[in-house]
Structure 1
Amino acid sequence: MFLQQLKANWITPANFQPYGQVIYASKDGEAYNSEDAQLILDRGIPRFYIMRLGERGRKFHKITRHLNCTQCLGALEGKEWLMAVAAPAAHDKPVLEEIVAFRIPGNCFIKLHLGTWHAGPYFDHEFVDFYNLELSDTNINDHDTCNLLETYRVELEMV
């Protein structure tokens, strides 16, 4: 096994565009526009919930994608967090060299494009509560995972 480090860069709408959207607060009453989350949730029952994750460190060897819905994630309480992603592709696995990592501040949320490979959320806090918007059966019927240890003999660490 080989441990490879990924530098986590601060997320911006421009550098995250191949993987999804970064959504910031907008004024109340503002009309729907392209800066709003462009959602695909019509293939099942949407599920919006708060998930509590305990300390997970920064290392991972599994990366997942959802082909039936977009997914939105954001941290409550303004806590910073990390996410590794690779662009959607027709392949059954992500290209290892194309996996990138982002630092995400607690004042925004992300919407992943359909099929975006993702690992996370990860963070250094004892726990973080995240709101999560996906389908009610995403974790059962729409959870395509690639084990990077088996596929590439590598574990990744976000730094």
Structure 2
Amino acid sequence: MRSISLRAEAATAENVAPFGTLMGPTAPAPVIRSPFYGDRVALRKPGRFVADDTLEFTVATLERRPLRVVWMERHFLHTQSFFPLGGRPFLMVLAPPGDGELPVLEEARALIFDGSAGLMLHLGTWHEFPLALVDATSLIIAIRRDTARDLQHVQGNEARGPDLDKKDIAARLGVTISVDL
């Protein structure tokens, strides 16, 4: 088994851009003022959420696990999003969307979100489920309702459905990804 080691780096609007949109109060987007609240409310729309079906918000509480990636998945029908609760940092391993059946691991990055902002993925962005850097890290996940059902369509050590393509990169490519902080 071959191992690829990624050095984790702080998430910024620039290094998140190939994979999605940084979602937070400092996201680079024009400020929109409410005609009702004047300068008391600043609205920003850093990205456009896409979903073809009912959206659900799931609260996931994560415990630390080894900083190792075996699976990567992508979504075709919604721009899955992750929003931290409680200001705790989390790590995402991401690879850009592509036409191939597998992620291009040479383009993968490990990004640390400091707990002040979240991430809205582009359609098709390959990712591992968020990794906690401290125990009891909670995230709100915006996800298409049917995606949970897609996870039940397990074939071997993978899952596939209309929205989900979850691959065992260790088995398919003989590669695991480890992350150095």
Say whether the fold is shared (TM-score over 0.5): yes
Residue deviations 1:102-152, cap 9 Å, x none?
Answer: 011100010000110001311232221110101111132322012111222
Q: Is 1:57 the equivalent of 2:66? A: yes
8 A Cα contact 1:57 1:124, kept in partner: no
Please, which of 142, 145, 154 is the counterpart of residue 136 of structure 1?
A: 145
1:79 aligned residue:
88
Q: How far is 1:57 from its partner? A: 2.4
8 A Cα contact 1:82 1:123, kept in partner: yes
Q: Is 1:95 the equivalent of 2:104? A: yes
- Tell me the SS of whatever aligns to 2:86: helix
The higher-RCO structure (CA 8 Å, 6+ apart) is: 1
Q: In the superposition, relative to structure 1, how do residues 53 and 31 fare at CA in structure 2: closer, same or farther (>3 Å)?
A: closer
Q: How many residues align?
A: 156
Q: Which amino acid aligns with 1:15?
A: N
Q: How far is 1:20 from its partner? A: 0.3
Cα distance in 1 between the residues matched to 2:77 and 2:112: 26
Please report the TM-score for the alignment, with normalisation by the length of structure 1. 0.90
- Tell me the SS of whatever aligns to 1:29: strand
Q: Which amino acid aligns with 1:5?
A: S
Cα distance in 2 between the residues matched to 1:94 and 1:125: 27
Q: Which has the larger radius of gyration?
A: 2
8 A Cα contact 2:82 2:142, kept in partner: yes
Cα distance in 1 between the residues matched to 2:135 and 2:85: 14
Q: How far is 1:49 from its partner? A: 2.3
Q: How far is 1:21 from its partner? A: 0.4
8 A Cα contact 1:60 1:156, kept in partner: yes
- Tell me the SS of whatever aligns to 2:141: strand
Gaps of 5+ in 1: none
Cα distance in 1 between the residues matched to 2:177 and 2:17: 22
8 A Cα contact 1:57 1:123, kept in partner: no
Please report the TM-score for the alignment, with normalisation by the length of structure 2. 0.80
Instruction: Provide the alpha-carbon RMSD of the alignment.
Output: 1.7
Gaps of 5+ in 2: 32-39, 151-162
1:123 aligned residue:
132
